[in-house]
Chain A
Amino acid sequence: MSADLWMPSAEIATLQQRASIVRTIREFFYAREVMEVDTPSLSAASVTDVHLVSFNTSFVGPGHAKGLPLYLQTSPEFAMKRLLAAGSGAIFQLCKAFRNEEAGSHHNPEFTMLEWYRPGFDEFALMDEIDELMQLVLNVPAAQRLTYQQAFQQALGLDPLTATLAQLQQLAIEQGFADIAAHETHRDTLLQLLFCMKVEPTIGQDKPCFVYHFPASQAALARICEHDSRVAGRFELYYQNMELANGFNELTNAQEQAKRFTEDNVYRDANNLPQVPMDTRLISALEHGLPQCAGVALGIDRLVMLATKKHTIKEVIAFDVGRA
């Protein structure tokens, strides 16, 4: 097509700023004696998360004449937890993550993730550390903190933890999403729709905003809170209409983790989504013992977008998927 598709989608000056941010991040962790690690991009298992689609391929070679199925990782979480269980102590990683079916102004199917884990931290101690890193990289004031319930209620006037399906449908219809709401029977889909479209634009505009205590039904790999079983030790960081990071007070219970993976596959089966084999090596690591820890994944491309005031992800990566 166009002859200029050989050229980078980002300006060289932006890539220089990006390199400088990555250097700042590495130095932040070196100073805190957090070890940098490098885990596989290709793995025999992947996430069962019903909203993530992995790329898969097959290794053919010695010992695998008929091919070993492998998944490109949607995040380095499982491998990093195996390192933690093996006694690594605090670790961080800057790596590529891969998610099929995701492309847009804030999404590229291959993107750069910063993920780190802090044994002995809970989600609040980890939020403190993320806040310091954000102030350093983005030169912003200290972040605001809201519970999911507070953020939702102040934007939409409905308690997301007690609202019935019918109330959420009604609210979504009033907010202009009748086409989706009228036949949507999953509470969490309606919550995610309302949160993305109507809550996010109201928070984290002047300074970053942590939203914590997500509903237990959206716990993902976070532990359920002991003081209130309706919510989980999961948080997200938002700034200027960008979802920047997702973190957990990590679930360490192997049985509970295996149960959640199985439930995902049951949902997949019921909704014509492909089955994803459970990562039994992660389950074995949890059985061996994952130290109580908090961990977070932060999108580096989006961080660079905010630091350089760019509006599309392709302006901060060397070659977006259209030029890869």
Chain B
Amino acid sequence: MANYSTNEFKGGLKIMMDGEPCSILENEMVKPGKGQAFNRVRIRKLISGKVLEKTFKSGDTVEGADVMDTDLAYLYTDGEFWHFMNNETFEQIAADEKALGDSGKWLVENDVCTITLWNGSPIAVTPPNFVELEITETDPGLKGDTAGTGGKPATLSTGAVVRVPLFVQIGEVIKVDTRSGEYVSRVK
């Protein structure tokens, strides 16, 4: 993998830091008028998800990380692995629980997810921004109530729990924003 100098740092660049692939969020040059220049860099560790700040001497180089995103359709889970398939090549990839993180509760069969691969192995699974799921459990609400009054918790077919308006009932399919975990609308 190529090395990158601090002048090549920019948001989205993938580098290796403390043995873990990281993505650069922000890069700011700090330089006294008379003296050494430094780069203060905000980095997200791609496996732990931790965000941290690192300071480099300007001109220093770091090793790039072989990280790529690929769009794959979710097939099924065998309990230990979650299986995804490339719809064009039919190549399959299995992600473990660690790579899956919190994404499991948003996985719908045949939905296309973004799988982040490091050296060819999955390290993160990002579900589509919006998914449609059926409500399996919720308290019966009052008729005529409108959205935005606080709502009630509802359990979805994948086990995810979201707050929904009182008028939404068991058996209905709703649209959820997976980034915020919030209810968007009913699906007719």
Interface positions of A (Cβ within 8 A of B):
49, 51, 101-107, 176-177, 179-180, 184, 188-189, 192-193, 195-197, 218, 220, 234, 236, 243, 246, 297, 299
Check A188–B35 contact: CB distance below 8 A: yes
Q: Which residue of B lies closest to A172 (CB)?
A: B55
The residue on B at minimum CB distance from A180 is: B57
Given A180-B56, A180-B57, A197-B55: A104 touches B29 (CB 8 Å cut-off): yes
Interface assignment of B34: CB less than 8 Å from any CB of chain A: yes
Quick check: is B184 within 8 A (CB to CB) of the other chain?
A: no
Nearest opposing residue in chain A for B52, CB measure: A176
Q: Contact at B7–A193, with CB atoms within 8 Å?
A: no
The list of the 3 closest CB pairs from A to B, nearest first, reads A104-B29, A192-B35, A246-B33
Q: Is B58 a contact partner of A192 (Cβ separation < 8 A)?
A: no
Report the separation of the CA atoms of residues A188 and B35 in the bound assembly, to the nearest whole angstrom: 8
> 6 additional contacts, CB 8 Å, given A101-B37, A180-B55, A180-B57?
A102-B29, A102-B37, A192-B36, A197-B38, A197-B55, A236-B33
**Chain A contacts for B38, CB-based, 8 A:** 180, 193, 196-197
Expressed in whole angstroms, the Cα–Cα distance for A103 and B37 within the complex equals 11
Chain B, 26-56, CB within 8 A of any chain A CB: 28-38, 40, 54-56
**Assuming A101-B7, A107-B29, is B55 touching A51 (CB within 8 A)?**
no
Contacts of A107 in B (CB 8 A): 29, 31
Chain B interface residue number, banded: 10 to 19
Q: How far is the CA of A52 from the CA of B40 in the complex (A)?
A: 19
Quick one: closest A residue to B54, CB to CB?
A: A179
Interchain CA distance A303-B31 in the complex, whole Å = 17
Q: Which residue on A lies nearest to B6, using beta carbons?
A: A101
> B34 touches which one: A103, A197, A220 (CB < 8 A)?
A220
Residues on B with C-beta less than 8 A from A220 are 34
Q: How far is the CB of A131 from chain B (nearest CB, A)?
A: 19
Other-chain contact of A102, B28, B31, B56, B57 (Cβ < 8 Å): B31
What residues of B have a CB within 8 angstroms of the CB of A180 in the complex? 38, 55-57
Closest B residue to A192 by CB, please name it. B35
Whole-angstrom distance between the alpha carbons of A197 and B28 in the complex? 12
5 A-B contacts (beta carbon < 8 Å): A51-B37, A176-B55, A180-B57, A193-B38, A299-B33
Q: How far is the CA of A105 from the CA of B27 in the complex (A)?
A: 10
Q: Hey, which bits of chain B sit against chain A, CB under 8 A?
A: 7, 28-38, 40, 54-58
Contacts of B32 in A (CB 8 A): 192, 195-196, 236, 243
Contacts of B35 in A (CB 8 A): 51, 188, 192, 196, 218
Q: Does the CB pair A105–B55 fall under 8 Å?
A: no
The distance in angstroms between the C-alpha atoms of A192 and B32, with both chains bound, is: 8
Inter-chain contact B36/A51, CB cutoff 8 Å: yes
B34: A residues at CB distance < 8 A: 49, 51, 218, 220, 234, 246
- On chain A, the residues within 8 Å of B58 by CB distance are 101
Report the minimum CB–CB distance from B143 to chain A (whole Å).
51
Chain A positions within 8 Å of B33 at CB level: 236, 243, 246, 297, 299
Contacts of B40 in A (CB 8 A): 197
Q: With the chains together, A193 CA to B55 CA distance in Å?
A: 9
Q: Residue on B with the closest CB to A245?
A: B33
- Which residue in chain A gives the minimum CB-CB distance to B27? A104
Within 8 Å by CB of A196, from B7, B30, B54, B56, lies B30
Given A179-B54, A193-B38, A105 contacting B7 (CB threshold 8 A): no
CB < 8 Å: which of A51, A103, A192, A236 contacts B29? A103
The answer for the CA separation of A104 and B7 in the assembled complex, in Å, is: 11
B36 cross-chain contacts in A, Cβ below 8 A: 51, 188-189, 192-193
Chain B min CB distance to A287 (Å): 25
Q: How far is the CA of A49 from the CA of B28 in the complex (A)?
A: 22
Report how far A189 CA is from B54 CA in the complex, Å.
17
A106 to B34, CA, bound (A): 15
Query: Who on chain A is nearest to B59 by CB?
Result: A101
| Complex-state Cα separation, A51 to B55, whole angstroms | 18
**How many Å lie between the Cα of A188 and that of B56 in the bound state?**
16
